[in-house]
Amino acid sequence: MKVLLIAYEFPPILAAQSLRWLHLANELVAQGVQIEVICPDIAPNPAFPLLLDRRVITHRVWPGPFIGLGEYAAKRAAAQGSVSEGAASAAPSLLSRAYGIARDLLNRVVYPDIRSEWYFFARKKLKQLLAANRYDIVLSSHEPAVDIFVGFHAKKAKLPWVVDLGDPLLTPYSPRWRRGIDLRVERRVMRHADHVVVTDDKVIELLVERHGAHLRERMSTISQGFPASAPAEQKSANASFSICFTGNFYSDFRNPKQLAEALRTLQGVDFTFQIIGNNGRFKPLFEGIQGIEFLGQKNHRECLEWQRRADLLINIGNVQNYQIPGKIYEYLGSGTPILHIQTSESTDPGATLINETQAGVVVTNDSQEIAVALKQLFSQWQHQLHWPLPSRNEELIQSHTWTSKANLYRRLLSLLAK
């Protein structure tokens, strides 16, 4: 079976979708599927931590004038910096600042964002590849939505077209000016795609509610996963209760305010809390709390290592009741107990997953409830009482490895390719 994947976010771009496709592509070629990828020609990123299997063939296409010129400017600024450290250090800063402002403005003008400029160049490459090769399936990633726009042309070639939608196009955080457009585009995708893959069953329910029950049979859930090679050896004891969070906080969802208030009340608990991610603007919330360490951004491999070494992992659920952070699956693979803070007022798929796998404790987003749970977990750790959570459902957890997810994908694609 030969699959053509259209994916803007693909290695070496550092993004959740890049990691999803790296793992799925590597696992699929290991299972005998031929994978070719149309992706943007982005400069190699030395921070990208994982290797793409050599059997995955990439067709890299110019990302477009704005992103392309940004790439050129970044390379030139880096070259100037190596020649002159003092004067050049201010220039790249001004350049990057101007670039960021321009990109933000263009994101408000171009639908749905400036990455859509890749469309014309990717579509041309798609036509060339479809004319020169025989594919069994065309697969569009999302996001960004430009992958879907390019994928529409696969229908003209009468090939099965699968959209890995993940989340709906229309979301509560979609800008107000484009919500009507998002809904129309989403409706068109649901009408024309041969199959739609999402990352949680709640998304299927939402799309059925919006677009009709007849579409249910054309949707499947293939969630995020974790590497099957994640070690499960006995953890070495930390000197103090080591708590860790990897990822980004946000003001409107995944807000750590209640967590910070809970940590402030932990008297007599010897703990450290490592916060890994782009979270510097949230430092004032944690000011004065002993043991807090803001470690900044780390690469994917380093994040996985911190997750394994910790005694407890913190996850803050999304407000949307149909979204589940992919990080939860990494947490499951680490073998470290999880404290999941539910912020959704209705159902929370992340909370459901933690409860089903018995991989941790779920609390509501209330500082007192969080503090009680932390004290109980600390006591268990201190006395090594049922630590780390021997009741974990390992069989269910192993069903979430990338190997298992790729196996689901391979079977789905095989059925559609017939």
| Side-chain half-sphere CA neighbours of 46 within 13 A | 0
Whether 259 and 346 map to the same domain: the answer is: yes
At residue 321, the pLDDT reads 75
Angstrom distances, CA of residue 27 to CA of 190, 396, 408:
27, 19, 11
How many whole angstroms separate alpha carbon 331 and alpha carbon 322? 19
Alpha-carbon distance of 180 to 196, in angstroms, equals 21
In a domain, 77, yes or no: no
Judging by beta carbons within 10 Å of its beta carbon (0-12, 13-18, 19+), is residue 365 exposed, middle or buried? buried
Residues 189 and 334 in one domain: no
Is residue 19 domain-shared with residue 121, that is, in the same domain?
Answer: yes
Average pLDDT of the residues in 163-182: 87
Domain encompassing residue 14: 2-65+111-225+402-417
Q: Which residues pair with 273 in a beta bridge?
A: 243, 292
Both 313 and 411 in one domain: the answer is no
pLDDT at 191 over 60: yes
- Asked whether residue 311 falls in the same domain as residue 413, the answer is no
Using pLDDT thresholds of 50, 70 and 90, give the confidence band for residue 81. low
Q: For residues 137 and 100, which has the higher predicted lDDT (pLDDT)? A: 137
38-42, 156-160, 280-284: least confidently modelled range = 156-160
Query: Are residues 221 and 264 both part of a single domain?
Result: no
End-to-end, the C-alpha distance of the chain in Å comes to: 10
Are residues 20 and 54 both part of a single domain?
yes
For residue 30, being part of any structural domain is answered with: yes
Structure tokens at 125: 């490459």
H-helix or E-strand spanning residue 4: strand 2-6
Overall number of domains in the chain = 2
Residue 12 exposed, middle or buried by CB count within 10 Å (0-12, 13-18, 19+)? middle
**Does one domain contain both 188 and 56?**
yes
Is 124 in the same domain as 170? Answer: yes
Domain-located, residue 267: yes
The answer to whether residue 272 sits within a structural domain is: yes
**What Å distances lie between residue 42 and 45, 93, 103, 277, 376, CA to CA?**
8, 21, 16, 23, 48
Report pLDDT for 76: 65
Asked whether residue 25 is assigned to any structural domain, the reply reads yes
Same structural domain for residues 249 and 284? yes
Two structure tokens written together for 154: 């696969």
Q: What is the CATH number of the domain that holds 129?
A: 3.40.50.2000
> Is the pTM above the cut of 0.85?
yes
Q: Check whether residue 245 and residue 182 sit in a common domain.
A: no
